[in-house]
Amino acid sequence: MTSILLTTAFRISAALTLAVLVCFSARAQDYPGGVIRIISPHPAGVATDILGRAIAAKMSEGLGQPVILENRPGANGMVAARMVSKAPPDGYILHITTGAHIANAHVAKDLGYDVLADFEPVTQLAASYGLALITNLPVDSVAELIKLAKAKPGQLSYATNGVGNITHVAGLLFDARTGTKTLPVAYNTPNLTTDVMSGTVSMTFFSIAAATPLVSSGKIRALAVTGTRRSPNLPDTPTLQELGVRDYEVTGYFGFLFPAKTPRDRIEKIYRESLKALATAEVKRLMERGGMYPVGSMPAEFGEFLKKDFDYQGKLMEEIGLKVK
């Protein structure tokens, strides 16, 4: 009798286990069953927004569900990151992030989230060639700019998108590597060029893609780029390293993050769809025009990249005087 009961119990248990597995499998296969939202930390029209919208469109095609991008700018990306970190980890809200996400951990107090622990890495989508150093000052080279800046310490200014932003870091690192002292001027708009062209500020470190038409039309001069290799957009513009500014590298990157504890199968699915989007001719052309090139790293690789970037940016922020004590 006991044997019959145990056998019956085993069969019931096995049936229940099978039912749970089938149900779980069905849920995994059904994902996504609705709209996926990509939260951008920047306003419309900048590189993050343009890249995010292009990838969202391709992912919508591949997933058979709407993938939309929402702009939630503010506080150098902290508004968007905080929103995603507190969202349900169900695979329906995604953060398109940049290096500012990691920088914020070192330059701001009380973020309200942990830049590493509260997120699941999906993939590094792309990297940039850096920024263009543009100016309308009466100089034709970086050497002349350095000479002028040393002759007028604290008098030359550069426009930034805010404290800790890549545009700010680029200027502080320029001062640290060249022995100059220039003045950062923070703006609340992504377009930093108007005041540079008018002479209200001396220069800025600006998106290569946005600077290219201005340089081509002669409205402004590009003296250098901040990456380690020349951009196809500005092939005649050397890197700062080429010009003898040692240990200078400021490049950007773009990636996808989910809230922590998002199911692994959903992370993998979005990773695969991201790779498909990056491989399309349309997205490739867009990245080239935008001064970017595709990466498409695996989730674990992107996670390791972010950890290394955390350590690197911590040392860098301390060196240039931005690290919060």
pLDDT digits (tens, 9 = 90+) for 39-74: 999 888 888 999 999 999 999 999 999 999 999 998
Q: Would you call 316 helix, strand, or coil by DSSP?
A: helix
Q: What is the mean pLDDT of the chain?
A: 90
Tell me the Ramachandran region of residue 130: left when phi exceeds 0, alpha when psi lies from -120 to 50, beta otherwise: left
Check pLDDT > 80 for residue 30. Answer: yes
Check pLDDT > 80 for residue 20. Answer: no
pLDDT value at position 47?
86
Confidence of residue 191 (pLDDT cuts 50, 70, 90): confident
Check pLDDT > 60 for residue 251. Answer: yes
- pTM: predicted TM-score of the whole model, two decimal places: 0.82
Phi, psi of 113, deg, nearest 5:
-160, 160
Confidence of residue 165 (pLDDT cuts 50, 70, 90): confident
d(CA 138, CA 148): 9
Domains of the chain: 34-128+252-319 (3.40.190.150), 131-225 (3.40.190.10)
Confidence of residue 29 (pLDDT cuts 50, 70, 90): low
